[in-house]
Amino acid sequence: MVLKGLMENPDKKFILVGGKGGTGKTTSAAAIAVYFAERGEKTLIISTDPAHSLADSFDQPLGNKEPTRIIGVNGQLYGMEIDPEQASGDFAEILNMSGANTDDLANTLGSMGFDEFKDMFATMPPGVDEALALAKVIQFIESPEYQDYKRIIFDTAPTGHTLRLLSLPDFLDSFLGKAMKLRVKINNMFAGFKSLLGMEAQRDNTIEAMEALKKTIMKVREFFQDSKRTEFIIVTIPTIMAINESERLAEELHIQNIAVNNVIVNQIMPENLDCKFCKARSAGQAQNLEYIRNLFVQFNLTEVPFFDREIRGVPALRIMGSALFESK
């Protein structure tokens, strides 16, 4: 099976490609983007992976603020790499602008003996940076100047990051709910002291800022769950570790109501009787492939061979795109 059905469904504007590190997810995302663009669909590919390798896949530099035209693809393909740390920094800036004085609160908590809460407001929860990067991307791709893109491909962070991102809204409900209650109590207590001393209480907007963060991340999850426009493609390889991780990702995506129809199985070794190593590896992969076919029976599996050269640059990505979309 191939990804041909995806090409024939123009409603799937947003395609997220993810999986374990080392499975070729970035290469797969880049190859999909090249295939769409060379068939006349204006395409944007965006990396939100903190360890950027998208520019390496295309063998050319990419911007992090504006899309860069990919050379060698008929003017229809653009790419960019979003820096999650920068997005997280932008949020910290918003917190400061809101009047939230997290340093003062942390020091106050420490002086009162609440050491376990000292860093509560100074540390961003795991996954927030990726969520904010995606939120930033969604904000600008929904603006009028990006409406002429027919397809927008996301090269997402590895599985662990993605799973943390998906669980963030629930995490924020519990963690931030408790943290904000604690903050309100402490603020009220100090407001009472200041009132007794005739000092004016300062407005603290941290709670509003955190609520805004939660709404932003909820918007990211709603974007993921828009099954008409959005699809998640899992990329794996025929090794037990990669298969197990892909199974966990598929289960979590199902729980979160995120559409997954396609699984790419990458780096399949051909049988080579003249090479003992190749023969042994091919035999091991054959067992794992059978396991994958039974495990992911509800998905469309696209099996991609192991290429004898590095897939880098548009010509090589074009070859891989053909393997992904065209019948053998």
Query: Catalytic one among 11, 49, 204, 274?
Result: 49
Rounded to a whole number of angstroms, the CA Rg of the chain reads 23
Question: Which string of DSSP letters, residue by residue, matches 5-65?
Answer: HHHT-TT--EEEEEESTTS-HHHHHHHHHHHHHTTT--EEEEE--SS--HHHHHTS--BSS
Q: Which two tokens stand for residue 212?
A: 């805004």
**How far is residue 72 from each of residues 61, 80, 315, measured CA to CA in Å?**
14, 16, 8
**How far is residue 242 from each of residues 64, 159, 256, 263, 294, measured CA to CA in Å?**
30, 10, 21, 12, 15
Sign of the Cα torsion 163, 153, 312, 283 reads: positive
Q: Which two tokens stand for residue 16?
A: 């997220």
Question: Which string of DSSP letters, residue by residue, matches 115-147?
Answer: GGGTTTTTSPPTTHHHHHHHHHHHHHHTSGGGT
Q: Is 49 a catalytic residue?
A: yes
Contact criterion met (CB below 8 Å) for 279 and 273: yes
**H helices present in the chain, as ranges:** 4-7, 25-37, 54-58, 84-97, 102-111, 128-141, 159-196, 206-224, 240-255, 276-295, 314-325
Q: What is d(CA 125, CA 120) in angstroms, rounded to the nearest whole number?
A: 9
Q: What is d(CA 161, CA 131) in angstroms, rounded to the nearest whole number?
A: 10
Q: What is d(CA 95, CA 79) in angstroms, rounded to the nearest whole number?
A: 30
Look-up of token digits 């360890």: 51
Contact criterion met (CB below 8 Å) for 85 and 64: no
Q: How many CB atoms lie within 10 A of CB 306?
A: 16
Catalytic residue numbers read 49
